[in-house]
Copies of this chain bind each other. A is one copy, B any other.
Amino acid sequence: MKLEEKQIKANYEYQGKVINVRCDDAMIANGTIVKREVVEHPGGVGIALEDEDGKYFMVRQFRYGQMEVMLEFPAGKREKGEDKFITAQREIVEETGYEGYDWKYLGYIAPTPAYDEEKIFMYYAKKGKYVGQHFDDDENIALCKYSIDELVDMIMKQEITDAKTVAMTFMVKEMKNNESKY
């Protein structure tokens, strides 16, 4: 079965600060032209930073899209054209004050692939040198730390609902349990 779709014409509907929105003309597999809405986003990173006691740095922050305070792994948006590993190294210092070392790339997730270009690149690192936090002006963040088993339990109880945090928690756990394999 042929599944591919092709962009015929890009139509910009909104060009904003974090996102742009297009409503493209697209050709689906049977040759029909349909409308496809797309959110353009530069992508982001999430970082699971482990301390010497096996606890992970987490941030509590208000998320306007969900209108609530959420518990998440430290994360941030990629600057346009920035290498994702540079973003990760910058964001972990900004949000926790610590550098990372022994970095490992876990892969990426597509949070909502039907209509959003965003990819979230996920990293694991060990806690390195303290160099001090640095927040963006409109960023209010509270730091805390949890073990992987505590995070799994909070996910299953719906105290954590952020998609990248769910994915990263289980992928870090799987990586640790199968270090020879992944």
Q: Could you tell me which A residues sit within 8 Å of B by CB distance?
A: 1-5, 7, 13-14, 16-19, 21, 23-24, 26, 28-30, 32, 34-39, 41, 60-67, 69-70, 72, 107-120, 138, 140-142, 152, 155-158, 161-164, 166-167, 170-171, 174-175, 178, 181-182
Q: Can you list 23 residue pairs at the A/B interface with Cβ under 8 Å?
A: A1-B140, A2-B140, A3-B61, A3-B62, A3-B69, A5-B64, A7-B67, A17-B35, A19-B37, A19-B39, A21-B39, A24-B64, A39-B116, A41-B112, A65-B110, A65-B114, A65-B115, A65-B116, A107-B158, A112-B116, A112-B118, A155-B171, A166-B170
Contacting pair A19 B65 (CB below 8 A): no
Contacting pair A26 B115 (CB below 8 A): no
Copies in the complex: 2
Contacting pair B21 A14 (CB below 8 A): yes
Minimum C-beta distance from A68 to chain B (A) = 8
Give chain B residues whose Cβ lies under 8 Å from the Cβ of A142. Answer: 1, 3
Contacting pair A163 B109 (CB below 8 A): yes
CA distance A65 to B14 in the complex (A): 16
CA distance A18 to B23 in the complex (A): 10
Minimum C-beta distance from A79 to chain B (A) = 16
Q: Which of B38, B64, B158 contacts A36 (CB 8 A)?
A: B64
Give chain B residues whose Cβ lies under 8 Å from the Cβ of A112. Answer: 41, 65, 111-112, 116, 118, 120, 163
Of the listed residues A21, A26, A30, A120, the one surrounded by the most CB atoms of chain B closer than 10 A to its CB is: A21
Contacting pair A110 B26 (CB below 8 A): no
